């Protein structure tokens, strides 16, 4: 049997199982729009914990964290995981809980409905709609790219004779790490189609159940992966001995944070604030049955992040260690590379799973990685459809203009169109999933002051919020363009910093800081000088 | 979570704000920046410290649910389906409701 065929069969079986789960959950579907969008606000604490965690832990967390720790070392955990443990729960507590109550009281399913009603202004919806959709696209892109890369790496050797399955390295010879595997474009396409089908059938209820199932799968299989890879790479008798051998082999550059800037480490604290403005997380908050359902996610989110991220970060730095050490270097192919010859960090994790585990276990572990990816894609697909339906079709054409069936059809066409655009973008050469994720999160972080002000500040005006949003997105576009001008050798998009001198001292600022300052200042200044919503409106939001 | 009734106090939110601030300060562990000590021979100290931050965050947020949970949320007064009193209410109660289907309440 050709190499990669068992892995492919297991991946296909997993996808079929997922489709079955989606179809099964559709039998629980109550047939209402409310059930399709927010599961009739019936989700209890455990499902809320699992679905929120599964939604926030993306390819960025598994594939991206392993790849980035391979490049930068153990500091990646502090950079985003431990900070997210503090900040995500803070957002659930300060934003999620309040928004949930307001949404239940006033009947919202999307962020745009909330902002439009809170500010008593229609333009805010028109402004937010393309921005939220536009910022979700790079987030989708992360999942789509990673899924194709995982499937290609895991099925390498399946059909090396087929020209479509061949991958050529920078030196003109076949790249053994990926050659013969299902092409990344095909793998990404299949994953998109599978997720679309179970989202279309099951709606939010199906998505929540699928998320819970997939979160369990990737957490359990993630620990198994860690155990198996440690034992294989360490080559010692016991698991603990393997951990010690591998830890001692980590080069100092990766066992410390000498490659990282301290000020950048501080500024990265802003990135997890993005969760407070993710439209798909907002929609999951709306599914909660009651306020008490939030307690479990608030408490256990930091622990779950640790359970997923620590193994990924360790595997990333071990990879550096073993491929640098003549004694520990594994037999078999070298790490996969990009056409430029640089190691493809996005494929480090699937490559290790493929080369360091048996075919059957490797297939299951690949399914686990795909589970993490799909558990975010589904919520994002559903959220895009909900925004389109509620904030565009229903809002501007009226709820009676189109039948339920017509609305569902238009929503599905919109989702497919966005997924198609994302898919086409994924065919380009995206070097770092991590960098793409950080830019996407930076945009959402820049919008975070608007939601905080909307909840806690009576003085926020519609013009102030609009200017804040415009300042956020304008600065994002400008800085992203500047980032694309940075040569790959100097870090590319992920290496871009705003640099200037103050009193002859060189200062470096991350783009997210500048964007957040821009949006906050614009919001505060304009709100001070423009009319606020009426007292009648404010009374609905401030007890 | 099954637990005794919370004991929210006036100082509860302040305690949580101080603890969260402390976590953010401890997160900036410049003192371990270039240390290559291995804890238990397994974890680089820079990683181990931040695992501790994650666990401490869990404890702080647990405490938040005990002493700082908003009092007006305890009653959970908004019932199933919500009291959709506003603009979006009508469209959300339309539909083909199938009575008798259990909620996903766990």
- pLDDT single digits (tens) B49-68: 999 999 999 999 999 999 99
**Cα A179 off chain centre by:** 28
Tell me the whole-structure pTM to 2 decimals: 0.86
Min Cα–Cα distance to chain B from A303, Å: 6
Best mutation target, B16, B19, B56, B57, to test chain A (most A CBs within 10 A): B57
Is the Cβ of A181 closer than 8 Å to some Cβ of chain B?
no
**What DSSP state is assigned to residue A509?**
E
pLDDT band at B82 (very low <50, low <70, confident <90, very high): very low
pLDDT band at B89 (very low <50, low <70, confident <90, very high): very low
Q: Which residue has the tokens 């480090």?
A: A348
The mean pLDDT of A38-59, rounded to a whole number, is 85
- pLDDT single digits (tens) A313-345: 999 999 999 888 877 888 777 787 777 777 888
- pLDDT single digits (tens) A496-515: 888 888 877 778 899 999 99
Residues of chain B in contact with residue A252, where contact means CB-CB under 8 angstroms, are 36
- Of A104-118, A270-284, A479-493, where does mean pLDDT reach its minimum? A479-493
pLDDT at A136 over 60: yes
Phi-psi region of A445 (alpha: psi -120 to 50; beta: other; left: phi over 0): alpha
pLDDT at A433 over 70: no
- pLDDT single digits (tens) A212-256: 888 888 888 888 888 999 998 888 889 999 999 999 999 999 999
Report the chain B residue with the minimal C-alpha distance to residue A240: B42
Min Cα–Cα distance to chain A from B103, Å: 6
Residues 6+ away with beta carbon under 8 Å from A266: B28
- Of A5-19, A178-192, A404-418, A517-531, where does mean pLDDT reach its minimum? A404-418
Min Cα–Cα distance to chain B from A304, Å: 9
Residues of chain B in contact with residue A44, where contact means CB-CB under 8 angstroms, are 103-106
pLDDT band at A257 (very low <50, low <70, confident <90, very high): very high
Rounded Cα gap, residues B105 and B16, in angstroms: 29
Is the Cβ of A296 closer than 8 Å to some Cβ of chain B?
yes
Which carries the bigger pLDDT value, residue A206 or residue A137?
Answer: A137
Q: What pLDDT does residue B15 have?
A: 95
Which carries the bigger pLDDT value, residue A493 or residue A284?
Answer: A284
Phi-psi region of A285 (alpha: psi -120 to 50; beta: other; left: phi over 0): alpha
pLDDT at A115 over 60: yes
Q: What pLDDT does residue B6 have?
A: 56
Contact across the interface for B53 and A105, Cβ inside 8 Å: no
Q: What pLDDT does residue A76 have?
A: 94
CA atoms within 13 A on the CB side of A379: 36
Instruction: Using a pLDDT cut of 70, give the percent of chain A over it.
Output: 96
- pLDDT single digits (tens) B4-25: 555 666 788 999 999 999 999 9
Residues of chain A in contact with residue B24, where contact means CB-CB under 8 angstroms, are 86, 269
Rounded Cα gap, residues B90 and A503, in angstroms: 61
Q: What pLDDT does residue B106 have?
A: 53
Q: What pLDDT does residue A469 have?
A: 97
- pLDDT single digits (tens) A265-274: 999 999 999 9
Residue A80 near residue A166 (C-beta atoms within 8 A): no
A432's tokens: 């770092």
A482's tokens: 């500047």
Mark which residues 355-394 of A lie under 8 Å from B by CB.
390, 394
Q: Is the ipTM of this complex over 0.85?
A: yes
Q: What pLDDT does residue B100 have?
A: 36
Contact across the interface for A86 and B57, Cβ inside 8 Å: yes
Is the Cβ of A295 closer than 8 Å to some Cβ of chain B?
yes
Q: What pLDDT does residue A2 have?
A: 74
pLDDT at A164 over 90: no
| B62 burial via Cβ count (<10 Å: 0-12, 13-18, 19+) | middle
Residue A437 near residue A80 (C-beta atoms within 8 A): no
Q: How far is CA A129 from CA A136, A394, A480, B34, B87, in A?
A: 11, 14, 20, 45, 19
Residues 6+ away with beta carbon under 8 Å from A94: A276, A452, A455
Min Cα–Cα distance to chain B from A187, Å: 33
């Amino acid at each position: 049997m050709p190499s990669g065929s068992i892995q492919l069969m297991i991946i296909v079986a997993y996808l079929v199982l997922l489709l079955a789960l989606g179809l099964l959950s559709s039998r629980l579907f109550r047939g209402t729009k409310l059930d399709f969008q927010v599961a009739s606000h019936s989700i209890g604490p455990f499902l809320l914990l699992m679905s929120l965690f599964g939604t926030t832990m993306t390819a960025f967390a598994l594939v991206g964290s392993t790849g980035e720790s391979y490049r930068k070392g153990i500091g990646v955990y502090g950079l985003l995981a431990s900070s997210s443990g503090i900040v995500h729960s803070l957002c659930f507590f300060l934003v999620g809980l309040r928004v949930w109550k307001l949404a239940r009281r006033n009947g919202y399913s999307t962020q745009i409905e909330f902002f439009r009603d809170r500010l008593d202004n229609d333009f805010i919806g028109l402004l937010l709609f393309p921005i939220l959709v536009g910022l979700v696209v790079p987030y989708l892109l992360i999942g789509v790219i990673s899924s194709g890369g995982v499937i290609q790496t895991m099925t390498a050797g399946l059909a090396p004779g087929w020209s479509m399955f061949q991958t050529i390295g920078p030196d003109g010879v076949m790249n053994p790490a990926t050659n013969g595997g299902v092409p990344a474009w095909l793998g990404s396409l299949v994953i998109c189609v599978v997720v679309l089908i179970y989202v279309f059938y099951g709606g939010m209820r199906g998505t929540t159940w699928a998320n819970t199932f997939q979160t369990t799968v990737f957490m359990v299989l993630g620990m198994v992966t860690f155990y198996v890879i440690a034992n294989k790479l360490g080559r010692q008798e016991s698991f603990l001995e393997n951990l010690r051998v591998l830890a001692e082999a980590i080069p100092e550059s990766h066992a410390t944070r000498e490659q990282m800037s301290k000020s950048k480490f501080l500024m990265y604290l802003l990135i997890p604030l993005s969760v407070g403005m993710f439209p798909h997380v907002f929609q999951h908050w709306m599914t909660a049955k009651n306020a008490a359902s939030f307690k479990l996610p608030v408490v256990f989110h930091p622990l779950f992040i640790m359970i997923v991220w620590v193994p990924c970060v360790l595997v990333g730095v071990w990879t550096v260690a073993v491929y640098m050490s003549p004694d520990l270097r594994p037999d078999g192919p070298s790490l996969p590379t990009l056409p430029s010859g640089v190691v493809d960090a996005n494929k480090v994790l699937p490559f290790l799973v493929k080369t360091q585990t048996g075919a059957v276990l490797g297939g299951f572990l690949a399914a686990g990685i795909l589970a993490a990816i799909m558990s975010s894609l589904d919520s994002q697909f559903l959220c895009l459809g909900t925004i389109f339906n509620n904030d565009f079709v229903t809002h501007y054409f009226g709820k009676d203009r189109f039948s339920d069936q017509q609305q569902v059809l238009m929503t599905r066409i919109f989702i497919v169109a966005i997924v198609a655009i994302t898919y086409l973008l994924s065919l380009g050469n995206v070097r770092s999933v991590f960098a793409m994720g950080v830019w996407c999160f930076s945009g959402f972080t820049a919008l975070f002051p608007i939601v905080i002000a909307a909840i806690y500040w009576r003085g926020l005006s519609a013009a102030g919020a609009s200017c804040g949003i415009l300042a956020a997105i304008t600065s994002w576009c400008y800085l992203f363009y500047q980032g694309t001008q940075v040569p790959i050798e100097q870090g590319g998009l992920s290496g871009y910093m705003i640099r200037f001198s103050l009193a002859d001292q060189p200062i470096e600022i991350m783009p997210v800081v500048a964007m957040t300052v821009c949006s906050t200042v614009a919001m505060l200044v304009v709100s001070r000088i423009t009319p606020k919503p009426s007292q009648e409106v404010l009374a609905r939001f401030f007890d | 979570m099954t637990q005794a009734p919370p004991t929210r106090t006036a100082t509860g939110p302040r305690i949580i704000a101080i603890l969260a601030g402390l976590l953010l300060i401890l997160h900036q562990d410049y003192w371990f920046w270039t240390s290559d000590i291995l804890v238990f021979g397994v974890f680089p100290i820079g990683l181990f410290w931040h695992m501790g931050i994650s666990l401490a965050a869990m404890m702080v947020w647990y405490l938040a649910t005990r002493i700082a949970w908003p009092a007006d949320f305890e009653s959970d007064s908004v019932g199933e389906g919500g009291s959709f009193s506003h603009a979006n209410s009508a469209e959300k109660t339309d539909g083909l409701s199938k009575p008798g289907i259990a909620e996903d309440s766990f």
